[in-house]
Amino acid sequence: MKILYVITGLAGGGAEKVVIDLADQMQAHGHQVKIAYLKGQPILQPQNPEIGLHYLGLENPWRLWSAYRTYQQLLQSYAPDVVHAHMVHANIFSRLARILHKVPKLICTAHSTNEGGALRMLAYRLTDHWADINSHVSQRATQLFIQRKAFSTQAITVYNGIDLSAFYKQRFRPEQLTEFLPSAIIAARQQDPACKLILAVGRLNVQKDYPNLLYAIQQLKSLHSTSFQVMIAGEGEQRAAIEQLIMDLQLQDDVILLGRRQDVAALMSIADVFVLSSREEGFALVVAEAMACECYVVATDCGGVKEVMGDTGTLVAIEDSTRLAQAIADVLREDPALLSASRAAAKQRVHEQFSVQLAVQQWLRIYA
């Protein structure tokens, strides 16, 4: 089978990681795979060099026709059996392109509960009939899109899958920690071996609501008597605003921005708590990754987070830093045996429901 994935870009977000993992897995299953991306520089790339990356050049609306012509040439030369688009721009683009160039099957997958404002929802609605199958990454998000009439009632839910060979609990000797932890974290742990590590991972954007986390950390300092350090891994357009808020809240000694990291599984393996403070999510891939690494999760109840976590970890309402701070404090002083049991249950849940292998099998049935 020839599969063409079309995606808005290949930055370091969860949706992009999902597509890269799917491409590698499909190629490993003996299928031919190519990825077309609309814009930007490809930060993420497949492990398999046989998977071709094709830049369409849709950096602004004025380049729509040029991007379509490049896409058309790819369709003509490759002749895919299935085109699977991901994220709003790629979904709308691939639907519109189908008016001029037919493809055997077009599947469109949304990855966020908020893929834009009313105009984007209208664009989804008006182009719905050009997609053979619409899907979202959580039941909650699927129903929301149906309610907004962005998707028809025939839309389906397919959960994202994670590569369990990459996300698992890693063990480190003390001297190994210096290889990937910031010196400030090492110094804090040397000064206080009981120092707790709190980790957040995700793009520095409005949807992830890092101010919610930072206000919670400010309150946590009065709720938790022992020392802790907070690490935030990720990059994005909100970095300057987040840096300023860290200074305004006088958290310079408590919070470290790590930037984009390739060793997220290692960070999750040594963290005591993983915190997701988002106001919007689709599936929340990082939550499943933290669960696979046996890191206790405290998360806001948005998008498909509850579906991922089940009865493991701790859920709190969105945009409530007081409750978030209290939840983190409760975890930091919880009985280690109870935390261990919850982490084991979380790991088992991910292995049973959210592996990339399960996702691949479900997609292959849909592609057929």
Domain boundary among 158, 191, 217: 158
187 and 216 both lie in a single domain: yes
Q: Interhelix angle for 321-332 vs 210-223, to 10°?
A: 50
Where do the DSSP E strands lie in the chain? 2-7, 32-37, 52-55, 82-86, 106-109, 133-136, 156-157, 196-201, 228-233, 255-259, 273-276, 296-300, 314-316
Quote the number of domains for the chain.
2
Three-state DSSP state, 243: helix
132 and 184 both lie in a single domain: no
265 and 304 both lie in a single domain: yes
202 and 343 both lie in a single domain: yes
Residue 212 CA to residue 208 CA, distance in Å, equals 9
pLDDT score, position 13? 83
Query: pLDDT digits over 138-147, tens only?
Result: 999 999 999 9
Q: How far is CA 316 from the centre of its chain?
A: 19
Residue 215 CA to residue 224 CA, distance in Å, equals 14
41 and 152 both lie in a single domain: yes
Residue 363 lies in a domain: no
Residue 168 lies in a domain: no
Residue 368 lies in a domain: no
Domain range holding 49? 2-158
pLDDT score, position 224? 75
The stretches in the chain having pLDDT less than 50 are none
Residue with tokens 């400030």: 184
Residue 299 CA to residue 275 CA, distance in Å, equals 6
251 and 218 both lie in a single domain: yes
140 and 187 both lie in a single domain: no
40 and 135 both lie in a single domain: yes
Residue 242 lies in a domain: yes
Residue 195 CA to residue 226 CA, distance in Å, equals 7
Q: Which residues contact 153 (CB under 8 A, 6 or more apart)?
A: 146
Residue 65: burial class (beta carbons within 10 Å; 0-12, 13-18, 19+): exposed
Residue 367 lies in a domain: no
CATH of the domain at 79: 3.40.50.2000
Token pair of 175 as six digits: 């001297």
230 and 255 both lie in a single domain: yes
